[in-house]
Amino acid sequence: MNYRYLAKEAYCSVFHAGMKIGNYALPYRIPELLEGPGCIRQLPAKIREKKCRNILLVTDRQLLKLGLLDSLKEELEKEGIEYTVFADIQPNPTDENVEEGYRLFYIHDCDGIIAFGGGSPMDCAKGIAAKNAHPNKSIAEMQGILKVHKKIVPFWAVPTTAGTGSETTLAAVITEEKTHHKASINDPCIMPAYAVLDPELTVGLPAHITASTGMDALCHAVESYTNYTYCTDLEKDYSKRAVKLIYENLLKAYNDGTDLEARQNMQKAAFYAGRSFTRGCVGYVHAVGHTLSGLYGVPHGLAMAVILPHVMKQFGPAVYERLGELADVIGLEGDTPQEKSGAFITWIEEMNERMNIPKGFDMIRDEDVPQIIAWADKEANPLYPVPVIWKEEDFRKLIASIRL
């Protein structure tokens, strides 16, 4: 009998029960929304209403080159709002990126933040906001659960992808520059208070980014829904809404990037899924995926798309009922929960194939596997209320299944 595993399982169960109760005391909320084509031009007037005079605009170099920020900068200038652009952010933002962004925030006497872009600028901006609230703390000291616990400056989030849902989450994933270890700052205090969902900002996304970010949103909805323990009816409903919108719109957006209705619906799906996993949490897909991003630079959404069906298969009977319910949402056939669950996983695999997402990765080195397992296990347990608590051999089985 594996007493060590039994002790781990018992500890996680007690932790999950405590978190379920404690969640009711946390200030979960939904950001105030601006929605619709061209709505980005309305944002500066909203900022003026909050009496902010100098904004740190956190984005990335590619978005600057594409000119996606031009209309926002134009409207900020019309409103007399000064801004400082910080765009030196790596695809997986690091603690050093956050420190540099905070330095600019401080020396330019900024009093608000706009995060403009995908998950990387969003996470970096949240880290900067947290650092501003605690100037004497390192990023590592704020990673974990409820270690910010202080009001941040006004924060507006403008997603240019439809995937991370970071505009409505309490998490900021930051990589330590020296070790390549990714970990999250998790605190309701860093949730953006305002979000701008403008589908015109996503029209220029390359098809492969549309695919991977869309599957990232699906992963959020599926992991949250199959976790179940922390979710209220609201989170479960948001997961279902997200899955239905993704089913109906992701391939449309992938095949025709100018389809504004599909783009808008995918933004809403990412928003719903983000709000769902903010309370419901993610699971082993994210825990393992974060290690691949940190060690090898694998784009986050791509890691989620590849790993998701493998984890759900490995969970087996523990998720038959829940995946069966999601299958019902999108009209997949099956006589039993097991058959419906299988149909749902097959749909995920077919989506990946239709969008040219690879079946696995060829860069995973044997010598890295113990580190991958250690980091993934530490991230997931006890925080994530996964349907099955994994042993080391379970992680090894998953890693073997995603290697090419």
Q: 344-378 pLDDT, tens per residue?
A: 999 999 999 999 999 999 999 999 999 999 999 99
- Is the preceding peptide bond at 382 cis, omega within 30 degrees of 0? yes
Do 377 and 247 have their domain in common? Answer: yes
pLDDT of 139 higher than 70: yes
CATH number of residue 152's parent domain? 3.40.50.1970
pLDDT bin (cut points 50, 70, 90) of residue 198 is very high
> Quick one: residue 52, left, alpha or beta (phi over 0 = left, psi -120 to 50 = alpha)?
beta
Do 350 and 299 have their domain in common? Answer: yes
Q: 25-67 pLDDT, tens per residue?
A: 888 889 999 999 999 999 999 999 999 999 999 999 999 998 9
Q: Which of 151, 177, 202 is the last residue of a domain?
A: 202
Number of structural domains found in the chain: 2
Do 167 and 293 have their domain in common? Answer: no
pLDDT at residue number 101: 97
Do 113 and 242 have their domain in common? Answer: no
Are β-strands 155-159 and 194-197 bridged in parallel, bridged antiparallel, or unpaired? parallel
Do 270 and 364 have their domain in common? Answer: yes
Mean pLDDT of all residues in the chain?
A: 95
Do 177 and 276 have their domain in common? Answer: no
Do 73 and 13 have their domain in common? Answer: no
| For range 90-98, the mean pLDDT | 93
pLDDT of 182 higher than 90: no
Q: Which of 144, 178, 202 is the last residue of a domain?
A: 202
Candidates 126, 141, 268, 258; CA nearest to 192 is 126
Do 152 and 232 have their domain in common? Answer: no
- Measure the CA–CA gap between 112 and 331, rounded to whole angstroms: 45
Range with the poorest average pLDDT among 176-185, 232-241, 304-313, 361-370: 176-185
pLDDT of 169 higher than 70: yes
pLDDT bin (cut points 50, 70, 90) of residue 1 is low
| For range 128-143, the mean pLDDT | 96
| For range 89-97, the mean pLDDT | 93
Q: How far is CA 251 from CA 257, 263, 301, 329, 331, in A?
A: 10, 10, 16, 17, 17
Do 173 and 219 have their domain in common? Answer: no
Q: Which of 176, 202, 228 is the last residue of a domain?
A: 202
- Measure the CA–CA gap between 290 and 297, rounded to whole angstroms: 10
pLDDT of 132 higher than 70: yes
pLDDT of 267 higher than 70: yes
pLDDT bin (cut points 50, 70, 90) of residue 92 is confident
Do 210 and 344 have their domain in common? Answer: yes
| For range 240-258, the mean pLDDT | 98
Domain housing 8: 3-25+206-401
Query: pLDDT > 90: what percent of the chain?
Result: 92
- Helical (H) or strand (E) element with 268: helix 260-280
Do 103 and 215 have their domain in common? Answer: no
Top-confidence residue, 1 or 335? 335
Candidates 206, 207, 163; CA nearest to 355 is 207
CATH number of residue 309's parent domain? 1.20.1090.10
pLDDT at residue number 91: 87
- Measure the CA–CA gap between 382 and 378, rounded to whole angstroms: 8
